Amino acid sequence: MTHFDIDKYAYLKSPFHSFDPRAKIICFLFLIFSIVLLNDIKVLVIALISTIILTFLSKIPLLFILKRFKWVALFIFAVLIVLPFTVPGKTVLSFGFLYVYQEGILLACLISLKAFSVMLLIFPMLSTMKFVTFIKTLEHFKLPKKLVQMISFVYRYVFVVSNEFQRALRSVSSRNVGKKSRILHLHVLSNVIGMTLVRSYERGERIRTAMLSRGYNGDMKTLHSFKMTKKDAIKCSLIIIWSLSLHVIVLTKILDVYDTYGI
Amino acid sequence: MILMASKKKDVVVKNLSYIYPDDTPALHDVCFEISKGETVALVGQNGAGKSTLLLHLNGVIENENGCITIAGIALNKKNVRDIRKKVGVVFQDPDDQLFMSTVFDDVAFGPINMGFSEEKVKKRVHIALQKVGLAGFEERCPHHLSFGEKKRISVATVLSMKPDILLLDEPTSNLDPGGRRRIIETLKTLKSTKIIASHDIEMLLEICDKAILMDKGRVVGTGKAEDILTNVELLNSHGLEEPTVITLLGDDAVFMIRNNFDSHGIKKHREKIKKATSEAEEKKILSHV
Ligand SMILES: Nc1ncnc2c1ncn2[C@@H]1O[C@H](COP(=O)(O)OP(=O)(O)O)[C@@H](O)[C@H]1O
Ligand SMILES: [Mg+2]
């Protein structure tokens, strides 16, 4: 059985693990948005370096991050390949009828720098707390109750249901000793899917019964004990200040000053 | 009046019948009484109506005809919420019982709905988890627990509400011997009135005072647990099988099961019987003389 494991390393100890989840989510979202709004390659490189440092500080193992990076990397790779040829502008290179444009290269770099930074920030933000804590933080931020309950139920039952489905499939394939016919196969598969749906429905009914019998009245209440300390306030402000400084760097053109000196 | 009050009835069911919406008859004219503090076995083969009966006692299924009285109060639509505070149900599948994302939230669910303060809720959760021997599991997720642990947490979710009456649906099904033993020991320590639906007769013999035998929605036998649950003919005629120990050892078996096969206790028990019989024989001889 596999588990949803974004919170696999939530038990580690780091400045981000001890960070109050509300403050953490707010300041990281702030940082993410400010990075997304940047349009200066040099500043984006600085931003990426800072996100790498933040990720490093969170002590989440590199291998864990790399494994989850596969799909983003694939997407970025596609962007890197396609954009230089398709965004028109100044021609830099040409392979026969294919032209490589400078604007395209620039855009591809911008997008991939942003994507990498944002993806990396997910880890110090979300992998340093339990998913349950994340759900509770959403609840705390007054997201619609129904939405939060739904996320929470999906998180709780997705593996129960997928287990049921796999069990049913296994029992079918273990009895499948006769000739293989594709139509029969599809027929059996649809049966298994149908059975899983019916089972889930029945389970839903039983869960409702269990909830009712413990006094459920349409409102799911939980206790949460978030505590904001001075340290949390300092960490939060530091990250927000850093997000703002990225834009200050762009606005004041500090880096361009170096350019004129030939650096 | 004084005489009647001496044995307080906690659960009284009279003429209860129920047919599921899809026309499956589940209960037929069920009647029984349970006194305060008793542990009662609800035995019967699959489909006998045990689960349906338990759902009635908690008011999850509304009783259409018949009468259910819990702690002296007749159950009806208006007081069903109050009754639920008194009657806790532990369902068969712990994945149905544990619907929250952490053990703490699950065990706290009942007390929070009862409107307790944060402090009281925390205290209740702590005590309930201690009672099932799983203190320190507060922050765990149910889907990372073993089946036996989930089962015990299920019991804790109900204990935290401090019910006067505890209903358990097949508490030992699907458990390995170790898990089964732990559940049994936990149940033994609970003093509330308990109704345990199961076909694990050995377990029922070990912890129950009384037994109600059901078949096809009817009550077909009530009495002392050791009488009903060792009545081989009765059990067999309703699709149940007595534990092998009973076949092998007869009357001794009840004692052995009750004492969880504690060899020291059994030795003592045997010596006592021997002594008693020899004394009785001596008396017989003396009276003859
Ligand atoms: N939700 C339901 N809808 C229709 N029939 C049901 C439902 N639940 C149980 N039954 C039927 O009611 C009868 C009693 O079931 P149940 O109370 O679950 O028995 P037990 O718990 O003793 O095994 C069975 O014939 C069963 O098929
Ligand atoms: Mg049942």
pLDDT given for residue B13 in this prediction: 94
Q: Do A215 and B108 touch (CB under 8 A)?
A: no
Nearest to B96 among A210, A217, A222 (CB): A210
User: Would you say the C-alpha torsion B67, B72, B78, B81 has a positive or negative sign?
Assistant: negative
Q: What integer is the mean pLDDT of A163-174?
A: 82
* Nearest residue to A195 (alpha-carbon basis) of A171, A175, A170, A168: A168
What was the pLDDT predicted at B124? Answer: 95
Q: Which protein residue has the closest C-alpha to ligand 1 atom 8?
A: B52
Q: Using 50, 70 and 90 to split pLDDT, how confident is the model at A263?
A: very low
Which domains, ranges and CATH numbers included, belong to chain B? 9-258 (3.40.50.300)
Provide the percentage of residues in chain A whose pLDDT is more than 90: 29
Does position A95 have pLDDT exceeding 90, yes or no?
no
At residue A170, the pLDDT reads 83
Lowest mean pLDDT among A63-77, A165-179, A210-224: A165-179
pLDDT over 50 (residue A4): yes
Nearest CA in chain A to B97: A210
pTM above 0.90, yes or no: no
**Is the pLDDT reported for residue A53 higher than 90?**
yes
Please name the residue whose Cα sits nearest to atom 17 of ligand 1: B49
- The shortest C-alpha distance from A112 to chain B (Å) reads 36
Show the CA angle centred on residue B23, arms to residues B18 and B27, nearest 5°. 25
Q: Which pLDDT belongs to residue A180?
A: 62
Pocket perturbation via mutation, ligand 1, pick of B46, B50, B52, B238 by most ligand atoms within 8 A of CB: B52
Mean pLDDT of the region A120-135:
89
Instruction: Say what the pLDDT of residue B273 is.
Output: 75
Listed range (A50-64, A128-142, A165-179) with the worst mean pLDDT: A165-179
Average pLDDT, chain A: 85
Q: Number of residue pairs across A and B with CB atoms under 8 Å?
A: 82
Identify the residue with better confidence: B146 or A80.
B146
B149 alpha carbon – ligand 2 mean position (Å): 21
A213 vs B60, B95, B141: nearest CB? B60
Q: What is the pLDDT along chain B (289 residues), one digit of tens a residue?
A: 444 444 688 899 999 999 999 999 999 999 999 999 999 999 999 999 999 999 999 888 887 788 999 988 999 888 888 888 899 999 999 999 999 988 999 999 999 999 899 999 999 999 999 999 999 999 888 888 999 999 999 999 999 999 999 999 999 998 888 889 989 999 999 989 999 999 899 899 999 999 999 999 999 999 999 889 888 899 999 999 888 777 777 767 777 777 776 666 667 777 877 887 788 888 877 777 6
To test the pocket of ligand 1, the residue of B17, B18, B19, B20 to mutate (highest count of ligand atoms within 8 Å of its CB) is B20
Is residue B234 a contact partner of residue B213, using CB atoms and an 8 Å limit?
yes
Under the banding of pLDDT at 50, 70 and 90, the label for residue A26 is very high
Say yes or no for a CB contact (<8 Å) between B143 and A215: no
Cα(A164) to ligand 2 centroid in Å equals: 20
Three-state SS string across chain B, please?
CHHHHCCCEEEEEEEEEEECCCCCEEEEEEEEEEECCCEEEEECCCCCCHHHHHHHHCCCCCCCEEEEEECCEECCCCCHHHHHHHEEEECCCHHHHCCCCCHHHHHHHHHHHCCCCHHHHHHHHHHHHHHCCCCCCCCCCHHHCCHHHHHHHHHHHHHCCCCCEEEEECCCCCCCHHHHHHHHHHHHHCCCEEEEEECCHHHHHHHCCEEEEEECCEEEEEEEHHHHCCCHHHHHHCCCCCCHHHHHHCHHHHHHHHCCCCHHHHHHHHHHHHHHHHHHHHHHHHHHC
**Rg (Cα) of chain A, in Å, rounded?**
25
Contact B96 A155 (CB under 8 A): no
Q: Which residues line ligand 1 (CB under 6 A)?
A: B 20, 22, 24, 26, 44, 46-52
Between A99 and A241, residue with greater pLDDT: A241
CB contact under 8 A, A206 and B58: no
Contact A3 B143 (CB under 8 A): yes
pLDDT of residue B46: 92
| Residue A200: closest C-alpha in chain B | B96
Displacement of CA B148 from its chain's centroid (Å): 17
Residue of B nearest to A154 (CA): B101
Q: What is the pLDDT of residue A179?
A: 61
